[in-house]
Amino acid sequence: MVNQMYLDKAEVLIEALPYIQRFNRKIVVIKYGGSAMLDEELKKNVIKDVVLLKLVGFKPIIVHGGGKEISRWVGKVGMEPHFINGLRVTDKDTMEIAEMVLAKVNKELVTNVQSLGVNAVGISGKDGGLLECKKKLSGGEDIGYVGDITHVNPGILYDLLEKDFLPIVFPVGFDKNYDSYNINADDAACAIAKAVHAEKLAFLSDIEGVYRDKDDPSSLISELHVHEAQKLIADGFVGGGMIPKLGNCIDAIEKGVNRVHILDGRIPHSLLLEIFTNKGIGTAILREDGEKYYNEHE
């Protein structure tokens, strides 16, 4: 008699089959950032998930942040981190720290991937001219070297993918004078997903997903059509960092990314669970003609 536990495991693998077929050779952009990056164990799990995606035939690209780590180092040199509308006020010194810290985080992620036997290459938005930008104003206010992406040159990513590397990108770009700019990692992930026509864009955040009411964790929404997401923002049910995040999700869907997901990076293997099972975790943002599967949550 075969142990039920083994049968259950086989069942899970079989459940993954259609998803492995659907995403075969397709580009999946994973934004990794927020508090979900602080825990070493969680970080290892996220990397394992992405490595598995790579090994079963997907083409994952990681775009990462590291805002919490930048703030820690800004504090270490005796400065105060300062944000306006979720964006870091970035003077010359802060820019220098941000670039150094993000490069350090980048190489840690590269090392984690390499340790699992997959070849990764870590680049910034400067490499291969990937992310061109201009100064971003926040409500008309100058907040320093914060970049608004004006153009993406995805050639370097295609080259790396073709050679079977896993690209890992950190969000620093340059303007037409070749000055460095600090880019919000969600903006970078969204711009890259659009430029490479990703099949899927997944944001690994530090929240379960989008709540219908930001103050009520029991109001998690499984699926949102674009117009519903716009209405939640307009009606003030979404706040803080979720406003630009959801804005990026809407933008990605409208510009051709097939599926966009906000997932809880604190849940071990949330990425795998979302992609390979019928469970549906986090919040999916759907095109207007996209069919909903989880209407019971509506």
Ligand X SMILES: Nc1ncnc2c1ncn2[C@@H]1O[C@H](COP(=O)(O)OP(=O)(O)O)[C@@H](O)[C@H]1O
Closest to 147 in 3D by CA, of 212, 84, 87, 67: 87
Please state whether beta strands 120-124 and 166-170 pair in parallel, antiparallel, or not at all (unpaired): parallel
Residue 137: both structure tokens together: 């104003």
Closer residue to ligand X (CB): 35 or 258 = 35
How many whole angstroms separate alpha carbon 205 and alpha carbon 239? 14
How many whole angstroms separate alpha carbon 198 and alpha carbon 240? 26
Binding residue for ligand X2W (CB under 6 A) from 60, 67, 122, 209?
Answer: 67
- Asked if 42 and 268 count as a contact pair (C-beta separation under 8 A), the reply is yes
How many whole angstroms separate alpha carbon 217 and alpha carbon 210? 9
Measured in whole angstroms, the distance separating CA 31 from the mean position of its chain's CA atoms is 1
Which region, judged by CB under 6 A, interacts with ligand X2W, from 66-74, 221-229, 244-252, 261-269?
66-74
Say which entry of ligand X2W, ligand X, none residue 66 contacts (CB below 5 to 8 A, set by partner kind). Answer: ligand X2W
Footprint (CB under 6 A) of ligand X2W, residues 7-36: 33-34
264 makes contact with ligand X (CB under 6 A): no
Window 135-164: contact mask with ligand X2W (x via CB under 6 A) = -----------x------------------
Amino acid symbol at 260: V
Binding residue for ligand X (CB under 6 A) from 238, 272, 285, 286?
Answer: 238
Name the residues that contact ligand X, by CB under 6 A: 33-34, 86, 186, 205-207, 210-211, 214, 237-242, 245
Name the residues that contact ligand X2W, by CB under 6 A: 33-34, 65-67, 70, 87-88, 98, 146, 171, 182, 184-185
